[in-house]
């Protein structure tokens, strides 16, 4: 027919699944083991423009404040029976959005005023602790990486 399964389709699908799983697990491992507040200031040394890093750092910190504010507003609305009917839920959702916007805008204005009062000159200076490199951990990581590459090359050579 016009559409039919490829003879190597399941094999290619399995390879794709394994590759995407490995990439996703690598990103998750990095995200779970590296604090963003330590990573972002180090990006300036890697050549990322400082204003871009400052914006990312402020957005990262402000996003958690906004999420906490939205959670508290939602709890307050639920305590006042704001979700008893569909109409009340929509009204509460509108109030939640409006209140979150006003609070975040107010927080941004206060942040700007605070930075101006401290002599903000365009860069946020944060104290980044010096990272120590563990030679043992680096060696074990490189050995593990080499072993994985060898296994992958061996399995690749065994494939028809």
Q: Are 104 and 67 in contact (CB under 8 A)?
A: no
Output the average pLDDT for the chain.
88
Higher pLDDT, 79 or 60: 79
SS (H, E, C) the chain: CCCCCCCCHHHHHHHHHHHHHHHHHHHHHHHHHCCHHHHHHHHHHCCCCHHHHHHHHHHHHHHHHHHHHHHHHHHHHHHCCCCCCHHHHHHHHHHHHHHHHHHHHHHHHHHHHHHHHCCCCCCCCCCCCCCCCCHHHHHHHHHHHHHHHHHHHHHHHHCC
Tokens encoding 82: 């704001």
Q: Are 38 and 128 in contact (CB under 8 A)?
A: yes
Q: Are 57 and 41 in contact (CB under 8 A)?
A: yes
- Could you read off the pLDDT of 83-108 as tens digits, one per residue? 899 999 999 999 999 999 999 999 98
Q: What percent of the chain has pLDDT over 70?
A: 97
Higher pLDDT, 145 or 35: 145
- Could you read off the pLDDT of 2-43 as tens digits, one per residue? 888 888 888 899 999 999 999 999 999 988 888 887 788 788
Per-residue confidence (pLDDT) for residue 17, from 0 to 100: 94
pLDDT surpasses 80 at 127:
no
Q: Where are the domains of the chain?
A: 37-129
pLDDT surpasses 70 at 160:
no
Query: Residue 128 phi/psi, 5° resolution?
Result: -105, 120
């Amino acid at each position: 027919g016009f559409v039919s399964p490829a003879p190597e389709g399941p094999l290619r699908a399995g390879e794709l699944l394994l590759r995407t799983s490995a990439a996703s697990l690598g990103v998750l491992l990095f995200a779970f083991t590296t604090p963003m507040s330590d990573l972002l200031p180090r990006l300036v040394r890697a050549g990322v423009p400082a204003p871009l890093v400052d914006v990312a750092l402020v957005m990262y910190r402000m996003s958690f404040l906004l999420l906490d504010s939205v959670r508290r507003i939602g709890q307050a609305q639920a305590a006042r029976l704001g979700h008893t009917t569909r109409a009340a839920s929509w009204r509460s959702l509108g109030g939640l959005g409006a209140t979150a916007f006003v609070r975040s805008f107010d927080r941004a204005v206060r942040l700007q005023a605070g930075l101006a009062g401290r002599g903000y000159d365009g860069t946020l200076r944060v104290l980044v602790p010096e990272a120590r490199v563990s030679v043992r951990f680096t060696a074990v990581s490189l050995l593990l990486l080499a072993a994985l590459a060898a296994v992958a090359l061996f399995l690749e050579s065994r494939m028809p």
